[in-house]
Amino acid sequence: MSTTGTFVFQQPLNYRDGARVQPLDGGHSEDVYEPATGRVISKLLCSGEKEVDLAVQSAKAAFKVWSQLSGMERSRVLLEAARIIREQRDEIATLETINNGKSIFEARVDIDISWQCLEYYAGLAGSLAGEHIQLPGGSFGYTRREPLGVCVGIGAWNYPFQIACWKSAPALACGNAMVFKPSPFTPISVVRLAEIFTEAGVPKGLFNVVQGGVATGQFLCHHPDVAKISFTGSVPTGVKIMEMAAKGIKPVTLELGGKSPLIIFSDSVLENAVNGALMANFLTQGEVCCNGTRVFVQREILDAFTKEVVKRTQKIKVGDPLLEDTRMGALINRPHLDRVQGFIKQAKEQVGKVVWASECGGPASSSSSSSLCALLLGNCTDDMTCVKEEIFGPVMSILPFDTEEEVVERANNTKFGLAGGVFTRDIQKAHRVVAALKAGMCFINNYNISPVELPFGGYKSSGFGRENGRAAIEYYSQLKTVCVEMGDVESVF
C-alpha cells in the first residue's frame, strides 16, 4: 500500500456556527475505517437530540441573514466556494479515497463535478424569479420564489462529498440553510465542505454537519423546525424518511437504489457499447445507484460483445486506490463485501451455465482490505436474484434478447426506475426506446456521465424529486402568489 498511514484526520467532526465542535450530547462512538486497508482512521461521536437541535437552531439563525440577500450576492459566495474546492481538489480527493475506497482518479472527477455543481447554481441564483400575471381591470398578480427554511440533507457513503454538494448547492442558491448528516462510514470530507463554505463567506451556521447514524437521522427528520428533507440511500430507509416527513408535512426528495437496464442493439458501434457497459457497471467498484447492471445484448452480437467486454474487464487495474493507475479500489467495508459475495454465490447456484469472465473474489491487497475484482455474469435470465436485486458491487449481468419490443418490456419489468441506456446507430430506434423506458435518467450511446446541468432522479421505487439542473430549484423553493387589487372591492354581501 502507499502512504495512507500517515494521513491525519482533524477532529472534531461535527460543524456548527462556523466551527468544528464536539457534539453536546455525543452518545456512542464508532470507528471510521479506511476501506483499502481496514485501518481505523477516526472516531465518530454520534450526535444526540440536543446537538441536532443546536445545529438546526444555528441554521435557523443563519437562514434569517442569508435569505435576505439578493441572488447575485449569494452567487458570489457560492462561486468563491467553488473556486476553493477547485484549488483544493487533490487534497479533498485524497480524503475521499482514503475514507471511501474509490480510486483517486475517480475521486478527482467527483470533486470536479462538485465544484461544477456549485458554479452552476451560483449562475442560476441571480435569475431565480417569479412571474407577473395581468388580471382584469388593471389588477395583477405576481409570484415570488421563496426559500423553504432549514433543509436537511442525509447522505450515502458512495459519493460523500459530491452528494453534499448536489444537495447544498441548489439549497443555498435558493436562500435556504442546511444541516447535513453524512453516512457514518464516510464522515470526513463533508466537514471540509463546511469549512470551505465558511471560508467563502456564508453566514455562520448556514451549513452545519451533524455526525451519526440512524438515531441522529431520525432526530433530524422529526425536528419541527426542519422544512425539507433530501435523502440519498436505500429504498427501505427512504420509506422510513417519508413516513417521518409525513408526520410534519415536510417535502422530501428521495434518491434511492436502482437496477437499471442498458440495451445494446446489434447495430451499435461495438467499442462504444463495450465502453458504455464498463462505465455503467464498474465506477466506484459498482457502488453506484444508477448503474446499468442489467446489460441486454441483442443475440447477433452477444458473442462478439461478451468476448470484448471480458477482455477489457480483465485489464481493469484493481488495488491500492491511491495509486494513479488504479481504476477499482475497495468496497466500502467487509460486511458489504460479504453481501456482494453472497449475491455472487447465489448466482452461481441459480444457473449452472454462468460464464465467469474474471474472478479474484476476496481481498486484492491485504487481509483487511475489501477489494473485489469485477465480475461478468453471462447467459443470465430475468428471474435470477442477481438480475432482480441491487447488488451495489462490481457485478455485470449480461442478458441476451431478440427484438425491440421484447427488450423494452423486460427492461421495464422491475420495481426500480432510476436510469436506463440504449446503444444503437438507428436514431429513431434510440429515441423510441428511451421514450418507452420507465426511468428518470436515460442515456443514448453513453452511460453514467453526470453533467450538473441535467436533472437527475428516479421513477417508481427509485424515488422522486430531482437533483441538478434547473429542476432542482423546484425542490428547494416554494412559490408565493400575490394578488393585487387596483380597483374597489366588490363585496357579495
Residue among 30, 96, 195, 255 flagged as catalytic = 255
Residues 302 and 60: their CA atoms lie apart, in Å, by 57
From the list 88-96, 254-262, 268-276, 277-285, the region that binds ligand NAI by CB under 6 A is 254-262
From the list 179-187, 269-277, 321-329, 471-479, the region that binds ligand NAI by CB under 6 A is 179-187
Three-state DSSP class for residue 123: helix
How many helices (H) and strands (E) the chain has is answered by 15, 21
Q: Is 400 in the site for ligand NAI (CB under 6 A)?
A: no
CA-based nearest residue to 195, from 4, 17, 8, 7: 17
User: Phi and psi (nearest 5°) for 289?
Assistant: -65, -35
Number of residues forming the site for ligand NAI (CB under 6 A): 25
CB contact at 8 A, 176 and 476: yes
CA-based nearest residue to 117, from 189, 155, 169: 169
Contact residue for ligand NAI among 156, 297, 441, 472 (CB under 6 A): 156
In the residue annotation, 255 being an active-site residue is answered as yes
Contact residue for ligand NAI among 152, 154, 274, 375 (CB under 6 A): 154
From the list 151-159, 167-175, 445-453, 484-492, the region that binds ligand NAI by CB under 6 A is 151-159
CB contact at 8 A, 41 and 98: yes
CB of 400 to ligand NAI, least distance (A): 26
**Within 10 Å of residue 59's Cβ, how many Cβ atoms?**
28
Q: Is 184 in the site for ligand NAI (CB under 6 A)?
A: yes
In the complex with ligand NAI, which residue's Cβ is closer, 77 or 384? Answer: 384
Extract the C-alpha cell encoding 61. Answer: 439563525
Beta-carbon contacts of 325 under 8 Å, excluding residues fewer than 6 positions away, are 317
DSSP classification of residue 365: S
Enclosing H/E stretch for 141: strand 140-147
Q: Angle at Cα 390 formed by Cα 338 and Cα 473, nearest 5°?
A: 125
In the complex with ligand NAI, which residue's Cβ is closer, 289 or 375? Answer: 289
Q: Is 240 in the site for ligand NAI (CB under 6 A)?
A: yes
In the complex with ligand NAI, which residue's Cβ is closer, 153 or 175? Answer: 153
Q: Is 420 in the site for ligand NAI (CB under 6 A)?
A: no
From the list 29-37, 49-57, 228-236, 313-321, the region that binds ligand NAI by CB under 6 A is 228-236
CA-based nearest residue to 418, from 480, 462, 478: 462
Q: How, if at all, do strands 40-45 and 29-33 pair?
A: antiparallel
Contact residue for ligand NAI among 206, 209, 289, 344 (CB under 6 A): 289
Extract the C-alpha cell encoding 444. Answer: 443514448
Spell out, one character per residue from 343 to 382, where the chain touches ligand NAI: x when CB under 6 A holds, - when not.
Answer: ----------------------------------------
Spell out, one character per residue from 317 to 346, where the chain touches ligand NAI: x when CB under 6 A holds, - when not.
Answer: ------------------------------
Interacting residues with ligand NAI (CB under 6 A): 154-158, 181, 183-184, 213-214, 217-218, 221, 232-234, 237, 240-241, 255-257, 289, 390, 392
Residue positions annotated with a catalytic role: 255
